[in-house]
Amino acid sequence: MKPIALLAALALTGAAQAQDTAKEIQRYRQMIAEGSPVELFEFAGEELWKRPQGPSNVSLEKCDLGRGPGVLKGAYARLPRYFKDADRVMDLETRLLHCMTTLQGRSEKDAAARVFGTADRPAEMESLSAYIAAQSRGMKLDPGVSHPKEKQSIELGRALYFQRAGAWDFSCASCHGEEGKRIRMQDLPVLYKPQFARPVIASWPAYRLSTSGFITLQWRMNDCYRQMRTPEPNFGSDTTVALIHFMTVTARGETYRGPGNKR
Amino acid sequence: MNRIRRALLAALVICIARPRAALAAWNKDAFGAKTAGDALKSLGIGNAAPSKEVTIDAPEIAENGAVVPIEITSNVPGTTALIVVIDNNPFPLIARFDFKENALPFVKVNVKMGETSDVRVIAEAGGKHYVATREVKVTIGGCGG
Amino acid sequence: MAGPMKMRATLGQGFTEVRVLMTHPMETGQRKDSDGKLVPMHFIQNLTVKLNGKTVVDAQISQAVSRNPVFSFRLKGGAKGDKIEVAWLDNQGDSNSTESAVA
């Protein structure tokens, strides 16, 4: 065979193989989605939502996540957004912390003492996030974009996405800035582009198969900074909320699929 | 307390303390076998004939070996059991499912795979055994998720 | 002690699909905890599915079934309101069960 033809044939094989790999991984993810333990966290979250806690001994059932006290249907899909009573933009977890302190009378220190859990002991935030997010399944992502503080938050998120810092001088864009990149078998989606942000944001929070735990966006922000060798941001900080806000706005309009499954 | 009552209570205690042992058989030898061959021998499974009537639906590549979904079924008439073996696992016997009259020989389950391996499913029907095999590749993932 | 266990039984094309999720660590005995100590074996060994009180599936499983097991079974025919019960027993003597009517 002529050298050029051989090279072409090899190139096609390589491309075809990459396609096959991607297809098979899709198949894996589909089979997982059809039989994942993720629902267990939704049930645990429902129990926590209804459980009276704190000095005030009340449940979270009157917590206002943006659609009125206790209204869960569609609430997650409309976050992050500005909340007048706190005078800031909040994502789900920040808002839950707010309700734990204002409704249940728990101190911020206590309520936020353990926000990231383990497989053996999920954190309250994780189970609650699973339960609440599930109530937005099938709805379009519609974060707040019109209030001045929402606009500020989105711009802050955008700036932070590209802001290089820390020991390695990394930004989010260092890994998530170029199409077609991956780390081992994990694709690195370019999250400032809608076509890539949409499927990602539509499947968080999620059950993590490798640890059997449940991971949330606050955890993801924290862990990304940790992996970039940058000091970990505070839970529910302006930094984390702004980044989540920016990416959710980038994914705006996508149908939320409910808590997902991640490797 | 009179002797009859005491005897009855003693009998009652024994009944309550024992029932699980009677109801739950678990084949220690088979599950403890370190090779697929030994596990199948412990189960009394000799030669299993390859059969297209036994199906394994599994992804070719598992992103994570901790959770590998497999869907198995047998169209061999009279199938009463399905046995799952993962050749390269430290203990290859994964499960044995016995189906009574109202159950179809069908299971979907998530299994752990230590590395790329053949997954073998043996159907038991009328005292004979039929087998299907499928390779599942296990990758090492990156970070994130 | 056991975490949530949930089951859904739905009518399919000529069969009843039973999907059950259970909370269980399914420890293999080979994992080390954060202190470097081996976490002892703790896994479901037996699983039974009952239809209207009669056992229809009897399973023996190993520690190689994934953590927080999810099983799907299929029963012949079936009708709305049929009672399904799934129960498990583990190597440490813990157990749990759940009941559901076919929807």
Report the C-alpha gap between A197 and A252 in whole angstroms. Answer: 9
Q: How long is chain A?
A: 263
What does DSSP assign to residue A256? P
Q: Is A118 exposed, middle or buried, given 0-12, 13-18 or 19+ CB atoms closer than 10 A? A: middle
Confidence (pLDDT) at B15: 45
Indicate the residue of C15, C28, C72 with minimum beta-carbon distance to B107. C72
Q: How much is the pLDDT for B6?
A: 67
Q: For residues A216 and A41, is the Cβ–Cβ distance under 8 A? A: no
Distance CA(B81)–CA(B75), nearest Å, equals: 12
Which one-letter DSSP state was computed for residue C25? -
Residue A53, C-beta contacts closer than 8 angstroms, at least 6 positions apart: A59, A100, A104, A106
Contacts of C25 in chain A (CB under 8 A): 119-120, 212
The residue-averaged pLDDT of A143-161 equals 98
Closest residue to C56, CB basis, from B27, B91, B100: B100
Q: DSSP letter for A166, please.
A: T
Residues of chain A contacting residue B143, judged by C-beta atoms under 8 Å apart: 183, 186, 227
Q: Are A76 and A92 in contact (CB under 8 A)?
A: yes
> Which residue of chain A is at minimal alpha-carbon distance from C19?
A35
Nearest CA in chain C to A46: C4
A99 as an active site residue: the answer is: no
Instruction: Tell the residue number behind the tokens 């497999």, with chain if given.
Output: B70
Domain ranges of chain C: 5-101
Q: What does each C-alpha distance from B119 to A71, B35, C43 come to in angstroms?
A: 47, 13, 21
- Say whether residue C67 is in contact with chain A using an 8 A CB cutoff: yes
Residue A49, phi then psi, degrees to nearest 5: -60, -35
Question: B63-82: string of b/e by CB count within 10 Å (b at 16+)?
Answer: bbbbbbbbbbbbebeebbbb
Which of chain B's residues have a Cβ under 8 Å away from the Cβ of A227?
143-144
Kindly state the DSSP code that residue A126 receives in the 8-state scheme: H
Choice between A173 and B140, residue whose per-residue pLDDT is larger: A173
Closest CA to A262 of A40, A57, A37: A37
* CA–CA distance, C46 with C28 (Å, rounded to integer): 15
Q: Which of B102, B106, B109 sits opposite C69 (nearest CB)?
A: B109
- Ordered domains of chain B (ranges, CATH): 27-138 (2.60.40.2470)
Rounded distance, CA C49 to CA C99, Å?
A: 10
Angstrom distance (rounded) from CA C25 to CA B112: 13
Q: Are B121 and B84 in contact (CB under 8 A)?
A: yes
User: Which domains are assigned to chain A?
Assistant: 33-262 (1.10.760.10)
pTM, 2 dp = 0.88
State pLDDT tens for residues B91-130: 999 999 999 989 999 999 999 999 999 999 999 999 999 9
Asked if A133 contacts A127 with a C-beta cutoff of 8 angstroms, the reply is no
Name chain C's partners: 3 or more CB pairs within 8 A.
A, B
User: Does B14 score more than 70 pLDDT?
Assistant: no
Q: Report the complex ipTM.
A: 0.95
CB A93 within 8 A of CB A111: no
Helix (H), strand (E) at residue C50: strand C44-51
Q: pLDDT per residue over C23-56, tens digit each?
A: 999 999 988 888 899 999 999 999 999 999 999 9
In this predicted structure, what is the pLDDT of residue A132? 98
Mean pLDDT score across all residues of chain B: 87
Q: Which residues contact B53 (CB under 8 A, 6 or more apart)?
A: B74, B75, B76, B123, B130
Tens digit of pLDDT for each residue in C62-76? 999 999 999 999 999
**d(C-alpha B64, C-alpha B87), whole Å:** 18
- Yes or no: say if A233 and A223 are a contact pair by the CB < 8 Å rule: no
Task: Please tell me the CATH superfamily of domain C5-101, with its number.
Answer: Immunoglobulins (2.60.40.10)
